[in-house]
Structure 1
């Protein structure tokens, strides 16, 4: 396929635009956890119901992935991102006016649809525009997603305290959508249109390797969504203030950002990603064990290990998927399938953890369950031998 080559300045502007867009893909979820006790003081929410604020947008992301590429073909890449940012911005700012649990949940689902349309499009766009540096650019993109989560988790309690309103702590992140929208519109002339012919390809539903990649991505993202939803409430229950628990989640997501930048660059040295994946899973398992066995001692170490592991695992799961196919649009279609199924799996983890908390009175059994899931993923990693990729997906 003919690669679209952009000159360095438009390419740089495009990458900056992608980073700003990516910053919008998690604040609508990440701001909820640190403010949960304040929200529950105002709106009646059980832990199971509160879990829907993370679960439903993630599930909406999963379902929307399946039509995300079709929407981008219909609207074009440029307009798809504009529409998605408008959806995310409106869903976020609507939280200023919410008075019930169902309205809060609907705003989360609406944001999830906007997020999914962007996430379905971006891997194919990056593989096409930055074909010589896919791992590094995917790292920057995914790191920016987690950076948005870090900013929201850290500063939402501060905004709530200063403004005297948890609604403002949730809604202020619409500003990020406005900034991203203006910059994205500013660089549109620099962005040539991709050929859509290769996007019209067969489904991956009958391919066992596509399902393995999707389950791997889903289980890895389950740890991310569960930590995003419940780490701050876990530490609030241990006696921490909302502000400190939010800052701890912010620290964890800052470690994710660091790992998201470094891990793909390190992994770029070899097409065999298995050793890197094993190290990342070991870090996550150690972090969960520390959260359970010694949450108050070395309380920065466990989120640090979790952040380094989760932050690297997220981009590496997508990079391994992209490795399977050379054609950017076909690889993009595969990652859309992987994310679609994966987010449906990952969306269940906050709900299951919330139910465990309601039934057993502690989040610790949820952390144990996720440790077992990471051990299962270690076995799955053994299947990712790059010499066999062509055999699994043609």
Structure 2
């Protein structure tokens, strides 16, 4: 029964980890027009939280040492709710940037600590629980993509800030289920650190950063690409929702399959091939191929995110080590991933074409495939996919 409650906790907390970012792309056109922004400026609203998720993840160890994992997550859920709700009241550009920093900080702390919780309660079912983690984030992204534009009929600040309600609900559920837990000893936390000297960890960083950059690149610019191809903003937002739903489904299916069949390298190559095929479809103007491309990219990126989350859990031996490996991978990885949409925004302003983001996608995906093919990849294939 306790573990069933923990599955609920993982789901409800992870549900909030993309809402503050995924609610922006459907509203980019409205925000640009209302605040008179260019593509570079508006790209910061999705990139800043991601970069902050990287920079501020370095604080995971210190916060865990000071107040413990469980209280840290509860505190950050409160911060996440406040940062998101502030968008209703303060809707100028500077306030949106500040809220993006606050949201990025909260997600930066929650993510690695939630992975630590999974390692503690489900050491032999990490694939399944990372699937739950991933599909929950996907549900949040799909909801934000689907309903943000409709909520903007009231006002776009309300469409951005209303998602704070879910963070409040998550905080209540967390408090109810977790209760009073024993805090990890400061000594054990102090004696450990990021695995900075391990090549395996740096490969994971690159993989996490490149796949993150692709996901946030698609999330930020797919709607604008389709609008440029002649779709209405409403139709383009619906296709973004299709991408998110496909990504959500396979972010659950693939890690579950990995618990039973195949090694990690094989799944990375399969997903990468589908992404490249999907990007090729998006370079056309044929409706069937465009939809096929969106689905294929959703499939591939749906597999890449949970794989990126699983790799540090497979490399670690206990919950504390899992939080440190995950903290390092997400710290540097999200910095890389957050810079990519910014660079794409600059490139779009220069070349006046959203196709440029597709060419960058080809480069990023090819980089992952080359990194995977070289040497022994990210892990020992002899090690089972469940971390046993």
Tell me the TM-score range normalised by the shorter chain.
Answer: over 0.9
Which deviates more, 296-305 or 56-65? 296-305
Is 1:71 aligned to 2:74, yes or no? no
* CA–CA separation in structure 1 for the residues paired with 2:71 and 2:93: 32
Mind listing any 5+ residue stretches in structure 2 that lack a counterpart? 384-388
CA positional deviation for 1:387: 4.7
Q: How does 1:107-126 map to 2 (within 5 A)?
A: 107-126=99-118
Q: Does 1:386 align with 2:380?
A: yes
Instruction: Answer yes or no: is 1:132 the counterpart of 2:124.
Output: yes
TM-score (norm 1): 0.92
SS in 2 for 1:293: coil
- Answer whether contact 1:14 1:191 (CA < 8 A) is retained: no
Alpha carbon RMSD of aligned pairs, Å? 1.9
**Shift, 1:40, TM fit:** 1.3
- Map of 1:210 onto structure 2: 201
| Contact residue 194 and residue 327 of structure 2 kept, 8 A | no
Answer yes or no: is 1:47 the counterpart of 2:39.
yes
Indicate the residue corresponding to 1:5 in structure 2. Answer: none
The equivalent residue for 2:176 is 186
Query: 1:345 maps to what in 2?
Result: 336
The CA distance in 2 between the partners of 1:380 and 1:295, in whole Å, is 33
* Number of aligned residues: 380
Q: Are 1:16 and 2:8 an aligned pair?
A: yes
Q: Residue 290 of structure 1: CA displacement? A: 1.2
The more displaced of 378-387 and 285-294 is: 378-387
- Displacement of 1:75 in angstroms is 1.5
How far did residue 99 of structure 1 move? 3.8
CA shift in 2, pair 1:352/1:251, >3 Å: same
1:135/1:198 Cα in 2 relative to 1: closer, same or farther (>3 Å)?
A: farther
Q: Distance in 2 between matches of 1:304 and 1:195?
A: 46
Partners of 1:247 and 1:44 in 2: CA distance? 25
Report the alpha carbon displacement of residue 271 of structure 1 after superposing the two structures with TM.
Answer: 7.0
Q: What is the alpha-carbon distance in structure 1 between the residues aligned to residue 328 and residue 32 of structure 2?
A: 35
Aligned partner of 1:3 in structure 2 is: none
Q: Which residue number corresponds to residue 158 of structure 2? A: 168
Residues 341-368 of structure 1: CA deviation (Å, up to 9, x unaligned) = 0000000111111111100011212211
Q: How does 1:348-387 map to 2 (within 5 A)?
A: 348-382=339-373, 383-384=376-377, 385-387=379-381
Please state how far the C-alpha of 1:191 moved relative to its aligned partner: 5.4
Q: Distance in 2 between matches of 1:172 and 1:138?
A: 27
Aligned runs of 1:282-293 on 2, under 5 Å? 282-293=273-284
SS in 2 for 1:300: helix
Q: Check if 1:89 corresponds to 2:81.
A: yes
The equivalent of 1:333 in structure 2 is 324
Instruction: Provide TM-score, normalisation by structure 2.
Output: 0.93
Cα contact 1:158–1:243 (8 A) shared by 2: no
Instruction: Give the Cα–Cα distance (whole angstroms) in 2 for the partners of residues 139 and 342 of structure 1.
Output: 20
Tell me whether 1:31 sits opposite 2:23 in the alignment. Answer: yes
Correspondence for 1:306: 297
Instruction: Write out per-residue CA displacement over residues 296-323 of structure 1, whole angstroms, 9 at most, x where no aligned residue.
Output: 4433221111111111100111212221
Tell me which stretches of 4 or more aligned residues in structure 1 moved more than 4 Å: 190-198
Q: Secondary structure at the match of 2:260?
A: coil
- Match in the other structure for 1:233: 224
Give 1:25 shift.
Answer: 0.7
Deviations 1:53-93 (A, max 9, x none): 01111010001111113212321222111111111111111
Q: Are the counterparts in 1 of residues 193 and 324 from structure 2 also a CA contact under 8 Å?
A: no
